Structure 1
Amino acid sequence: MTAETGSTPAAQGGAERTAGARTDWARIARDGLWDNNVVLAQSLALCPLLAVTGTATNGLGLGLASLVVMVLSGVLVSAARGIITPQVRIPVFVLIIATLVTLVDLAMNAWLHDLHKVLGLFIPLIVTNCAILGRAEAFASRNRIAPAAFDGLMMGVGFTLVLVALGAVREAIGSGTLFANASLLLGDAMAFLEMTLIPDYRGFLLMILPPGGFLALGFLLAGQRLLKRLPLPKRRAGAAATMSN
């Protein structure tokens, strides 16, 4: 290679280090948690979201499984981006994601068997989650390993938070409990999460059924849109007031 081309290994390494120095970690975090949230902004993964969020415990279990797949797929896709040709990148990405989902499915069946039985088919269906393939294509395949892993982590955390929030709302209104059976599904260490919010509550069946999921999701999306419309100074003042209290 001639000096004019600027494509020597040393130049490429310097370019990667320069790009890494400019990585906007805060922006990646904001995208995953809020601005480009899998559910709130992209409206993806709605089928498992509405199907498993009858309780906050189920939402937490599926969210953590999806988070693991997002982080590991980002790492593997980023690490292999130099050897994957553009013509076969999508099949390779799907193969990587499917392999990781299979490993997660087997691990949950071995160590979290009760939760595995509750979530059932929705664990293998993580393969079809467009958000995971989309981040592999749009971000991990174009960035270094550390930013790709962090992007997967933030996207997974954002997705998990929505799953837990939706499950908590539906469970609280539908059953008067929060994180019911957490010790059975997630292990004895999670027993502290179990709460009874309304003793002797007869329940509100609609919120546990699929129509309740649509209602809760609609209110959640509306709340996010209203918060986004608030002027930035008001949002900062509200956040400061909340922290001071």
Structure 2
Amino acid sequence: MSRLWKEFSKGLWDELPPFKVVLGLCPVLAVTKTADNGFGMGMAVIFVLTFSNVMVSLVRKLIPTKVRIACFIVIVASLVVAVELLMQAFAYPLYQQLGIFVPLIVVNCIILGRAEAFASKNNVIYSAADGLGMGIGFAASLTFLGALREVFGYGTVFGNQIMPQSFEPFSFMIEAPGAFVCLGLVLGAMNTLTNWQRKRKGLAVLDNPSHECKTCGICSR
């Protein structure tokens, strides 16, 4: 049980995809104008990442090494089609908002990276825990960034007005440059927090905590 929790929880902080491992930044920057968009994309990624890990783990011993990446892409693409159909049926306005970024989940480096680095080398239970943890961490990151941009860009969170009527929306925050600025601020805050935690433990301060090899885990598996 301890290892199962470790595989699940690492994606919630130690290997938080966008902010610790710095992967999957395309949707992080593109679809986080609002918290709704970030949450919707996050839910889609949780579904695809968890089930792709499970399926890759199930067939890992049957796939020839030379074609494993192609097989992974076929598995992920099939799941993305399922997500698209579900979104069109039950959340069509959200599907329209996310646009091309839903099918682009197929080439999301987080999903292919976890399939190659983890699911192809571990059993179904651990692979499911890894995918679910990474997916939840990714969804939380997108939702947080979307909420941050929505607050300053619209004065709302999930469409609910939280800023006073006199608040003048900062439209820069919902434009492309605002996405980069918000991402940079969050990365800086997390790096500062990481270094503070390391100081408390008596460890050396890192120049770039987001790119510490130990946070990735790919080479070690």
TM-score bin, normalised by smaller chain: 0.7 to 0.9
Return the offset for 1:27. Answer: 2.6
1:72 counterpart residue number: 51
State which of 93, 111, 116 in structure 2 corresponds to 1:132: 111
Q: Which of 1 and 2 has higher RCO (CA within 8 Å, sep 6+)? A: 2
Alignment of 1:1-245 (within 5 A): 24-180=3-159, 195-200=160-165, 201-231=167-197
Letter of the structure 1 residue corresponding to residue 25 of structure 2: L
C-alpha distance after superposition, 1:156-211 (max 9, x if no partner): 0110111011001100111110011xxxxxxxxxxxxxx31113233110001111
Task: Please give the root-mean-square deviation of Cα atoms over the aligned residues, in Å.
Answer: 1.6
Q: TM-score, normalised by structure 2?
A: 0.86
- Structure 1 CA distance for aligned equivalents of residues 197 and 78 of structure 2: 44
Letter of the structure 1 residue corresponding to residue 145 of structure 2: L
C-alpha distance after superposition, 1:34-92 (max 9, x if no partner): 12221112222211111110000100000000110000000100011121111111100
- Structure 2 CA distance for aligned equivalents of residues 204 and 94 of structure 1: 40
1:8 counterpart residue number: none
Return the offset for 1:31. Answer: 2.3
Letter of the structure 2 residue corresponding to residue 228 of structure 1: T
| Unaligned 5+ runs, structure 2 | 202-221
Letter of the structure 2 residue corresponding to residue 174 of structure 1: G
Letter of the structure 2 residue corresponding to residue 216 of structure 1: C
- Structure 2 CA distance for aligned equivalents of residues 119 and 232 of structure 1: 38
- Structure 1 CA distance for aligned equivalents of residues 99 and 32 of structure 2: 13
Q: TM-score, normalised by structure 1?
A: 0.78
Return the offset for 1:231. Answer: 3.4
| Unaligned 5+ runs, structure 1 | 1-20, 181-194, 236-245
Could you say if the C-alpha distance between residues 231 and 202 of structure 1 is closer, same or farther in structure 2, counting changes exceeding 3 Å?
Answer: closer
Letter of the structure 2 residue corresponding to residue 25 of structure 1: L
Return the offset for 1:30. Answer: 3.7
Could you say if the C-alpha distance between residues 231 and 116 of structure 1 is closer, same or farther in structure 2, counting changes exceeding 3 Å?
Answer: closer
Find the residue that maps to 1:231 and give its secondary structure.
helix
- Structure 2 CA distance for aligned equivalents of residues 136 and 159 of structure 1: 16
Count of matched residue positions in the alignment of Structure 1 and Structure 2: 200
- Structure 1 CA distance for aligned equivalents of residues 28 and 90 of structure 2: 23
Which portions of structure 1, spanning 4 or more consecutive aligned residues, are displaced by more than 3 angstroms? 231-235
C-alpha distance after superposition, 1:13-45 (max 9, x if no partner): xxxxxxxx7x62333234211122211122222
